Amino acid sequence: MSDPIQIINDKCVSCGACVRACPFDAISQAERKAIPVIDLTKCTLCGACVQACKFDAILMQAKPAADAGAIAAYKDVWVFAEQHEGRVQSITYELLGEGRKLATELGCRLCAVLLGHDVKAAASGLIARGADVVYAVDRPELAFFQDEPYAAVLVELVRRHKPAIFLCGASTMGRSLVSRVAVPLRAGLTADCTGLAIDPESKNLLQTRPAFGGNIMATIVAPNARPQMATVRHKVMKEAPLDPAHQGEVRIEEVPVELLASRTRRVKFELEVETTLNLSEANIIVAGGRGMQKPENFAMLRELAEAIGAGVGASRAAVDANWIPYSHQVGQTGKTVCPKIYIACGISGQIQHLAGMSSADIIVAINKDPEAPIFKVATYGIVGDSMTILPKLTAAFRAALGK
């Protein structure tokens, strides 16, 4: 098989324009007058070098041109409505808020797709949040999330109604589910987007997401495949406002019964009770690290969290010391969170921790070490001992908030 991208030696004048144009550092010249070499392990075939070359000396294997007619058959913006026990999750409202903008730009409908059992109330709730159409599949087999039937039903609905865009929350459920949907559809799928926009010329969905632990942002497109699928990071997009006057239609969809089968079987489900608040749902997070010194001191964090309605997070160091369960860990090997306020107490701010929380709106850092890297990302920094500051902060918030 030939290389997907090649430099044609006869045409190349070794000017180096492609070397400079490559955003991925994949093209190099051994010396100034040498013919450049493309490192295919770094190359993403983005085409920047092809455009930069004035001598048509770079040949990139053309993708089979998209069938414009087939692409045009896909319309509408779809949002997967995540429900737990019939309650629609707030990420869904964020998707509807963002989906509305995209639908307006494309001049198409905004639709929600809802799988569950006894979902009538939830379906009308989605219309009040801006959905023009709710495709609902109401079956006991779909009462709670199971990877296989949920994926099979979504594949069927996409084939039936052909949405141009399919958005889903980047929740544990969403990420487990949508890859199984994208594979049989041969759809492009982008994970954990923090920015979505419509390209004004091509009308393609521009999907922007962090990579390399948030050190780098990448914009991704899927020009020749439909639907354009993306999961979206929780708490980044603004919720669609509640508008009880908004009109829409609930369509109950029937699906073949064989799609509802699951080889896996839920044995039991235990809601997490330790937390006051689910970390990914929390608008405010109070987090502790090694500087909290011992597990008992996490009580101080919990008190502050209760006073201000926050969830409790932790650094890897605190989790590894068994001061708090893993489900509270924020960072590269834990959760990625995006709250309005993140209060880091005794957390030094290793890059792996920052990867999980640096997109928070406001970051407060309390640390004894004035050189701690956490202060580099902090909106407000306090050099001091968390053990001294925390009780005072809790008391001051209680007074200020009238509790």
* Parallel, antiparallel or unpaired: strands 362-367 and 37-38: unpaired
* CA distances from residue 54 to 5, 8, 11, 15, 57 in whole angstroms, order as listed: 16, 13, 10, 9, 8
Smallest distance, other proteins to C-beta of residue 132, A? 27
> Contact with other proteins (CB under 8 A): which of 5, 240, 344, 345?
5
Which tokens belong to 110? 């905004």
Residue 330 is a binding residue for other proteins (CB under 8 A): no
Are 361 and 339 a contacting pair, CB within 8 Å? yes
Name the DSSP class of 297: G
Rounded Cα distance, 97 and 142, in Å: 25
Residue 43 is a binding residue for other proteins (CB under 8 A): yes
Amino acid (one-letter) located at 282: A
Smallest distance, other proteins to C-beta of residue 317, A? 13
Which tokens belong to 295? 């597990």
Smallest distance, other proteins to C-beta of residue 300, A? 13
For every residue of 43-89, DSSP letters joined together read: -----HHHHH-TT--EEEPPPPPP-HHHHHT-EEEEEEE-EETTEEP
Question: 85 to 144, contacts with other proteins by CB under 8 A?
Answer: none
Query: Which is closer to other proteins, CB of 104 or CB of 215?
Result: 215
Non-local (6+) Cβ contacts of 18 within 8 A are: 7, 27, 36, 49, 52, 53, 58
Q: What are phi and psi of 59, to 5 degrees?
A: -110, 120
Smallest distance, other proteins to C-beta of residue 33, A? 20
> Contact with other proteins (CB under 8 A): which of 17, 122, 182, 347?
182
x/- mask, other proteins, residues 257-276, rule CB under 8 A, reads -----xxxxxxxxxxx----
Residue 217 is a binding residue for other proteins (CB under 8 A): yes
Q: Which stretch binds other proteins (CB under 8 A): 51-59, 94-102, 111-119, 146-154?
A: 146-154
Residue 381 is a binding residue for other proteins (CB under 8 A): yes
Are 141 and 176 a contacting pair, CB within 8 Å? no
Residue 305 is a binding residue for other proteins (CB under 8 A): no
Residue 309 is a binding residue for other proteins (CB under 8 A): yes
Q: Which stretch binds other proteins (CB under 8 A): 56-64, 111-119, 125-133, 291-299?
A: 56-64
Residue 158 is a binding residue for other proteins (CB under 8 A): no
Query: Which is closer to other proteins, CB of 259 or CB of 341?
Result: 341
> Contact with other proteins (CB under 8 A): which of 51, 104, 176, 276?
176
Q: Which stretch binds other proteins (CB under 8 A): 71-79, 128-136, 217-225, 294-302?
A: 217-225
